[in-house]
Amino acid sequence: MERLEVAVDAELAAVALRGGFRSVPALQTTDLPINLIASIVEYASRSYFTRAFRAAYATDPKSFRASAAERDHASQLAVPPTLAERTISAVESVLGDEE
């Protein structure tokens, strides 16, 4: 029985990778319902897609989408250094190299 479970898990992971690679951009960049994404990547049901996605990515599609949104939001909050800050940093690094 254990061999069968391993084989099923391996097949789920392989299927998840095929569908997962196609579904990741949609999960990251759209607000399409997960059941529609599952259908687009040719899964018979959202539950099967979720099981396969979890097998490949160690998280479910909903959590994956939420963490992608958090990362995107955090990157938008990061303020790039101003020209003055970059200039000061460059001057400090040059002066530091001379000492």
> What average pLDDT does the segment 4-28 reach?
63
Q: What is the pLDDT of residue 11?
A: 61
Report the domain count for the chain.
1
Q: What is the pLDDT of residue 62?
A: 93
pLDDT tens per residue, range 37-75: 888 888 889 998 898 888 888 889 999 889 887 776 656
By CB atoms closer than 10 A (0-12, 13-18, 19+), residue 79 is exposed
Q: Which residues span the domain enclosing 32?
A: 2-98
pLDDT tens per residue, range 14-23: 555 555 567 7
Q: What is the pLDDT of residue 98?
A: 55
What's the whole-model pTM score?
A: 0.54
What CATH number did the domain enclosing 11 receive?
1.10.10
Q: Burial letters for 58-73: b for 16+ Cβ neighbours within 10 Å, e otherwise?
A: eeebeebbeeeeeeee
